[in-house]
């Protein structure tokens, strides 16, 4: 059992070390919402992955923070729970807003694990002490720049290279990279930029031995993905369109994809992420852990989730130093030769760098029961 006695909301602006372009646009910084839950002398950490504008999914930072203040935190503060899954009774009746709910649920998992003195991955049912990781590369200026940035990361040993694509920038970079690196594990991510009318263009990618094409069609679609999968030999990977274990079951049953990207915040927290994992295992579909340019808090949660047995493909949890000059946590989260160690110790295994966060925080609010 654990008790939630107090909460703290922080909003930290972090500059990225590079320009990151996707089909959504260009990103040069990240606004990071953090939640701290406290109880019995222990604290649990979580990170929100929603953005300022509803580009990836429908949630926004402003909306999420207001829900935390007005709806979610009042329902958990001052209460004792048997385990984090018991929070579903308090929060499960609300529709949507899974990323905002995940902030409370994930912080509760960390709090509970630290109370028990056990690593989060162990409580979730994981067993790995290290996980394979890949790298997600944004859209570059041209094919030469794309090959160059891929080369740097191949030399660093990453187990999978993922290229962001969009209409007009798809076959060209993939062809260039595959010709330069015929043996690497290569994937692409469209972030919902295509329609079924583009199936001929997407079918051209079948020639390049991709492990999967990630979320080519609409963020809330399964039916057209199923039709597209019938037209392609390359497996489709579902991302945005899987917000629950039910969505995963429907998508796999329809044949809308053969791989699932699990982003723990997108599905509402660790409990539902584990259910998605279990559904995928029942269908024989591999899963991997996606990333949202997380700081060290969210990255540590992702690493622990990736210790579950069904995570057989490299995730997006590459080295934190790729993204940030200084992270929000004290412990370095660094991969070597494509392998990321699981942070040791109880909970997610990292602690907040309070001095740095205090300097970078644009908002800090505290709440008590």
Q: Which one is catalytic: 128, 162, 166, 263?
A: 263
Secondary structure letter of residue 152 according to DSSP: H
Cα of first residue to Cα of last residue in the chain, in angstroms, is: 17
Among 333, 339, 320, 337, which residue's Cα sits nearest to residue 157? 337
Q: Report the C-alpha gap between 97 and 117 in whole angstroms.
A: 30
Both structure tokens of 137: 């590369």
Active-site annotation holds for 164: yes
Long-range Cβ pairs for the range 246-253 (8 Å, 24+): 247/222, 248/276, 248/279, 248/280, 249/279, 249/283, 250/222, 251/222, 251/225, 252/279, 252/280, 252/283, 252/285, 253/283
Q: Report the C-alpha gap between 338 and 71 in whole angstroms.
A: 41
Residue entry with tokens 């199923």: 226
* Cβ atoms 262, 270 nearer than 8 A: no
* Cβ atoms 321, 350 nearer than 8 A: no
- b/e per residue 324-354 (b: at least 16 CB within 10 A): beebbbebebebeebebbbbebbbbbbbbbe
Residue 245 is inside which H or E element, if any? helix 245-254
Residue count (the chain): 369
The DSSP-derived string for 271-287 is HHHHHHHHHHHHHT--E
- Dihedral of the alpha carbons of 263, 266, 268, 270, in degrees to the nearest 10: 10
Active-site annotation holds for 30: no
Q: Which one is catalytic: 17, 128, 164, 166?
A: 164
Q: What are the residues whose beta carbons fall under 8 Å from the beta carbon of 295, sequence distance 6 or more?
A: 12, 14, 30, 32, 34, 47, 320, 324, 327, 328, 329
Q: Report the C-alpha gap between 105 and 264 in whole angstroms.
A: 10
* Cβ atoms 286, 312 nearer than 8 A: yes
Active site residues: 164, 263
């Amino acid at each position: 059992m654990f008790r939630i006695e107090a909460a703290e909301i922080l909003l930290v602006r972090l500059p990225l070390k590079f320009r990151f372009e996707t089909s959504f646009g260009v990103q040069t910084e990240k606004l990071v919402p953090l939640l701290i839950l406290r109880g019995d002398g222990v604290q649990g950490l979580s990170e929100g992955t929603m953005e300022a504008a509803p580009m990836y999914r429908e949630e926004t930072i402003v909306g999420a923070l207001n829900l935390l203040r007005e709806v979610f935190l009042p329902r958990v503060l001052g209460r004792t729970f048997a385990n984090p899954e018991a929070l579903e009774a308090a929060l499960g009746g609300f529709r949507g807003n899974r990323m905002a709910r995940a902030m409370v649920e994930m912080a509760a998992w960390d709090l509970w694990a630290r109370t028990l003195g056990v690593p989060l991955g162990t409580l979730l049912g994981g067993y790995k002490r290290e996980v394979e990781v890949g790298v997600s590369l944004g859209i570059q200026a041209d094919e030469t720049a794309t090959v160059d940035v891929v080369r740097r990361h191949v030399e660093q040993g990453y187990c999978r290279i993922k290229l962001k694509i969009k209409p007009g920038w798809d076959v060209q970079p993939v062809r260039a990279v595959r010709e330069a690196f015929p043996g690497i594990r290569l994937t692409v991510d469209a972030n919902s930029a295509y329609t079924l009318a583009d199936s001929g263009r997407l079918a051209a990618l079948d020639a390049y031995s991709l492990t999967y094409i990630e979320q080519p069609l609409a963020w809330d679609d399964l039916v057209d993905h199923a039709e597209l999968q019938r037209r392609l030999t390359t497996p489709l990977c579902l991302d945005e369109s899987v917000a629950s274990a039910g969505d995963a079951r429907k998508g796999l049953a329809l044949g809308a994809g053969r791989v699932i990207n699990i982003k723990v915040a997108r599905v509402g927290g660790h409990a539902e992420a584990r259910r998605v994992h279990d559904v995928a295992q029942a269908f024989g579909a591999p899963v991997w852990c996606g990333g949202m340019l997380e700081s060290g808090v969210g990255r540590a949660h992702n690493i622990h989730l990736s210790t579950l047995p069904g995570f057989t493909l490299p995730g997006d949890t590459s080295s934190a130093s790729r993204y940030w000059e200084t992270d929000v946590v004290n412990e370095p989260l660094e991969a070597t030769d494509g392998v990321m160690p699981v942070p040791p110790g109880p909970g997610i295994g990292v602690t907040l760098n309070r001095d740095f966060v205090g300097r970078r925080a644009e908002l800090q609010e505290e709440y008590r029961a």
